[in-house]
Structure 1
Amino acid sequence: MSRAIVHMDLDTFFVSCERLVNSKLIGMPLIIGGSSDRGVVASCSYEARKFGVRSAMPIKYALRLCPQATVVKGDMEFYSNKSHEVTSIIEEVTPVVEKASIDEFYLDLTGMDKFFGCYNWTSELASKIQKQSGLPISFALSVNKTVSKIGTGEAKPFGRLEITETNVKPFLNPLPIQKIPMLGDVTFQLLSRIGIRNIQTLAQMPVEILQQMIGKNGIEIWKKANGIDNNPVEPYTERKSISTEHTFETDTIDIPNIKSLIAGMIEKLAYQLRTEGFLASTVVVKIRYNNFDTETKQIKIPYTSFDHVLTTAALDLFQKLYTRRMRLRLIGIRFTGLVRGTYQINMFEDTTEMLSLYQAIDKIKNRFGFDAVARCSGMKLKDVKMKS
């Protein structure tokens, strides 16, 4: 039985959210991002894209390309709430859902054609989402995640597309290789130099040669070019979390050191988030007094994986939680409400320098180990046990 996999993507999600709040922005070139010239573009409208504006571009450069654009700082809390609203609508009626990021979803409808037409059913769901949330959404239905994701990209904006099993190759073949998910710029430049620029040429290339050129990832790229993807739709759950706890050898009331410890714990967990490709939407802090009384407090935050945002939230929670002048036996940090996502989700307060700094730090840690570089505010945590 052929699989029926849908990829749904909210069109220019941040832009669409802002236009819900302010209808005067409809039809205007719009940039969502940092409020200063040193900020970066988190999202932009199709009207701005016509001038060459793209995500992750410095605001200053984007305004040179499109000086008439309106820049809005953005409200990640509002965007997160709208994302949860759409998630609830989809989960209510769909058997298997994977939330791939704040604005995109995979649905496994395999077997539903016995009772419903999968395309018609998905069209009705898309209309329901747009009616109830006010947000435009595009989708593509095909036999696997790769083809449906590429299909959604081709269907946008406000598009709906079905790619049957027999039409997978004719659909993929003429497209440029940049359309393949996870094919980065370095790989594109390498393949382009030897004349491989469309998917058909890449699909016809001997897989052994491709593997020799770009390593084990070459096999996956070749499979995707040939429309092969057996990865399952993994059900999304808010219960996913990562956590860490530290039990003090001697009960303590040294608040500066405890705050330093929290900063170090956050740094480890945030690095783990970024390494595994997650963003967190909830921070939980736990303390245990020396009489074994245990208290926890949590806060919802905009999706992020950045140390400085998570540390601020955790320290604020600790201040509110630690109300008794008693020694502490244990401190714990947990991140929950995880979704797949990348650096680009958090660009409203961050400059290009900030983003580059995180990427550089992670590269150093990846190559030389976590302890190769660390924040001065964090303690060395070799004895902290990570949980997931």
Structure 2
Amino acid sequence: MSVQRYIAHFDLDSFFVSVEVLRDPSLKGKAVIVGGSVDRGVVAACSYAARQFGVHSAMPMKRAMQLCPHAIVLKGTRGEYSRYSRMVTEIIAAKAPLFEKASIDEFYVDLTGMDRFFNPYQWTIALRQEITETTQLPISFGLATNKMVAKIATDEAKPNGYLYVHPGMEQAFLAPLAVNKIPGVGKQTFATLQTMNIQKIGDILQYTPEQLERKLGKYGSELHQKALGLHFGEVVNEHEAKSISTENTFEENIADLEFLHAQLVRMTERVAYELRQEDKLAGCITVKIRYPDFSTTSRQTTVSYTFSDDELIAAAMDLFEKLHKKGAPIRLLGVRLTDFVSHGMQGNLFEDTTKKSNLYKAIDDVKNKFGKMALNKARTVPLPRKEEPGKEEEK
């Protein structure tokens, strides 16, 4: 007998806007757009009042201002978004048996098997209430037997609501919804489905998986499964378990501060590159130092979720200065990134990070084509010492 799955999906409503309203209550109920300047960049988030005029995230700011010229435009405060995101994460981590931080404002909780001890629906309602009372942020959730249905249920429950799709009711719940409510159905797929007279999710089941495959390739059979309410994705706690790190054990003990700084920059640049390859942002960085007597010390700090070399290098240098015993030679140096969330729109929140994102994409394209060492910051090469840097180990 199979165990009944219970998956909850939490999503902070208009997260960036909600944080700005907490900072300035006079914004409540108004058309607010968080993003670039009035005529540049894209919309990172918008209030429900702005959405009524057709504004949505990822829309060019110029178009958004044409639709809603009276909107209040804010560049946003990234540090505050990270701080509130961590507050919610800590509440969920303290209560949930297993959770996944899918993005800065989105979480999955796996309650499978916990129905022996409590009612999953009532437990999820109580968790939502605690989050709201502690942070004053609106949050919606969907509860279902899998991640996909739970996420769609959350979207239907918004704003600031919740919805439980009981086991066995998945197909009935999905059938009347627009087909592009299914995650992964983009503009091109949606247009193809419309030519097949598929408007609602239930319409998909008029076709066999084989017929859908002929039109949509392998995605056709997957779409048929989704229309039945079937999805097998697991809740994975990468937030705590996953890390990207590198350590450098020097062939001889190094006291040359300029050399050590160059090594730290190079190592941080390397882990930041690996982070971008995984399409993630990091919220925590750790620097590790081992001395000739093998005594080891480390220090970490939280940062606004980022993939940017410059932001991570600045944090690493600050940690090194606080950690290093002045003048003491070093045997090993390490850098580690943790607390990951998916990149998505969060790496392109504002105009300056959009430019930065494009720059790093160009740099990474060169590295991917010609090797990781094809481009490095000027301060890291040539190294100010003739000695070999030692054995570096990536984790």
Range of TM-score over shorter length:
0.7 to 0.9
Give the alignment partner of residue 12 of structure 2, picking from 3, 6, 10.
10
**What is the Cα deviation at residue 356 of structure 1?**
3.4
1:284 and 1:296 in contact (8 A); partners too:
yes
| Matches of 1:299 and 1:344, distance apart in 2 | 20
2:58 and 2:345 in contact (8 A); partners too:
no
**What is the Cα deviation at residue 308 of structure 1?**
2.9
| Matches of 1:307 and 1:207, distance apart in 2 | 45
Aligned ranges for residues 165-184 of structure 1 at < 5 Å? 165-184=167-186
What is the aligned partner in structure 2 of residue 76 from structure 1?
78
**What is the Cα deviation at residue 134 of structure 1?**
0.9
Higher alpha-carbon deviation: 211-220 or 11-20: 211-220
Aligned ranges for residues 108-257 of structure 1 at < 5 Å? 108-113=110-115, 116-189=118-191, 191-192=193-194, 196-208=198-210, 210-211=212-213, 218-235=220-237, 238-252=240-254, 255-256=257-258
What is the aligned partner in structure 1 of residue 303 from structure 2?
301
Higher alpha-carbon deviation: 199-208 or 222-231: 199-208
What is the aligned partner in structure 2 of residue 54 from structure 1?
56
What is the aligned partner in structure 1 of residue 394 from structure 2?
386
Unaligned runs of 5+ in 1: none
| Matches of 2:81 and 2:148, distance apart in 1 | 26
Partner SS for 1:166: coil
2:280 and 2:307 in contact (8 A); partners too:
yes
| Matches of 2:18 and 2:169, distance apart in 1 | 32
| Matches of 2:263 and 2:61, distance apart in 1 | 36
What is the aligned partner in structure 1 of residue 285 from structure 2?
283
**What is the Cα deviation at residue 313 of structure 1?**
1.8
Q: What amino acid sits opposite 1:9 in the alignment?
A: D
2:55 and 2:68 in contact (8 A); partners too:
yes
Q: What amino acid sits opposite 1:207 in the alignment?
A: P
**What is the Cα deviation at residue 146 of structure 1?**
0.5
What is the aligned partner in structure 2 of residue 90 from structure 1?
92
| Matches of 1:15 and 1:285, distance apart in 2 | 34
Q: Give the aligned length.
A: 386
1:53 and 1:66 in contact (8 A); partners too:
yes
Higher alpha-carbon deviation: 155-164 or 178-187: 178-187
Higher alpha-carbon deviation: 42-51 or 338-347: 338-347
TM-score, with normalisation over the residues of structure 1?
0.84
2:347 and 2:357 in contact (8 A); partners too:
no
Give the alignment partner of residue 27 of structure 1, picking from 20, 29, 33.
29
- Runs of 4+ more than 6 Å apart: 380-383
